[in-house]
């Protein structure tokens, strides 16, 4: 049919997301995106937007896809906060272990690239990081962590989660990543026990 787009939007966005994830924003050119999606430059601009617009769409896509998984992992936080945090980290570790996906985390990479991002894209990357802290804060509060510890642990767990992605890109083994998670979960366990003794 005349005028009908001859590509699947979801497939193209996934391909663009993987390209940004693998190479980072600064190292990805429109020609790279063209090769990744199979679309010519004019089709990218007309259907997906300029590089910044497409990157924002990819960030949103990534945040929604993994955000839903993090939310599901944390859904038991009120009754089992430690299991919830372990499951939260499990989402990241499973993603890292998937051979079909690039190493690292698109949001963590974007945060590290903030100095070279446009103000709008930098703000979006910061918002994505902030969403993870808010998600953790709500879960830890539901898990009856003391108010003075909620913010600190939300920041800490979010930071550890991002560092797992960075470590994986640097070649850390699954055992090393699990050891890092174990230290965080142990610290949270001790804090929860101390809170409940008070």
Contact of 131 with 139, CB cutoff 8 Å: no
Note the pLDDT of residue 2. Answer: 44
- Measured at the CA of 109, the angle between CA 158 and CA 19, to 5 degrees, comes to 130
> How many other C-beta atoms are found inside a 10 Å radius of the C-beta of residue 140?
26
Note the pLDDT of residue 104. Answer: 85
Integer Cα distance of 121 and 56 in angstroms: 7
Integer Cα distance of 164 and 157 in angstroms: 11
Integer Cα distance of 47 and 87 in angstroms: 37
% of the chain exceeding 90 in pLDDT: 78
Note the pLDDT of residue 6. Answer: 60
Instruction: Render pLDDT for 143-162 as a digit per residue (tens, 0 to 9).
Output: 989 888 999 999 999 999 99
Q: Taking all residues of the chain, what is their mean pLDDT, rounded to a whole number? A: 91
Note the pLDDT of residue 31. Answer: 96
Residue 52 has pLDDT above 90, yes or no: yes
Span 5-31, mean pLDDT? 90
> How many other C-beta atoms are found inside a 10 Å radius of the C-beta of residue 145?
23
Residue 5 has pLDDT above 70, yes or no: no
| pTM of the predicted model as reported, rounded to 2 decimal places | 0.88
Q: Give 14's pLDDT tier (boundaries 50, 70, 90).
A: very high
């Amino acid at each position: 049919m005349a005028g009908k787009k001859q590509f699947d939007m979801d497939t193209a966005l996934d391909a663009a997301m993987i390209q940004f994830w693998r190479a980072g924003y600064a190292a990805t050119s429109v020609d790279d995106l063209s090769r990744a999606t199979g679309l010519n430059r004019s089709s990218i601009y007309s259907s997906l937007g300029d590089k910044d617009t497409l990157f924002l769409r990819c960030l949103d896509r990534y945040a929604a896809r993994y955000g839903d998984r993090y939310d599901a992992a944390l859904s038991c936080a009120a009754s089992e906060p430690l299991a919830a945090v372990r499951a939260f980290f499990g989402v990241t570790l499973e993603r890292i272990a998937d051979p079909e996906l690039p190493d690292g985390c698109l949001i963590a990479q974007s945060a590290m690239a903030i100095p070279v991002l446009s103000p709008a894209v930098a703000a979006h990357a910061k918002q994505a990081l902030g969403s993870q802290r808010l998600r953790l804060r709500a879960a830890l509060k539901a898990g009856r962590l003391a108010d003075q510890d909620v913010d600190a642990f939300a920041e800490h767990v979010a930071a550890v989660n991002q560092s797992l992605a960075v470590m994986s890109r640097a070649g850390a083994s699954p055992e090393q990543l699990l050891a890092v998670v174990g230290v965080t979960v142990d610290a949270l366990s001790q804090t929860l026990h101390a809170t409940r003794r008070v």
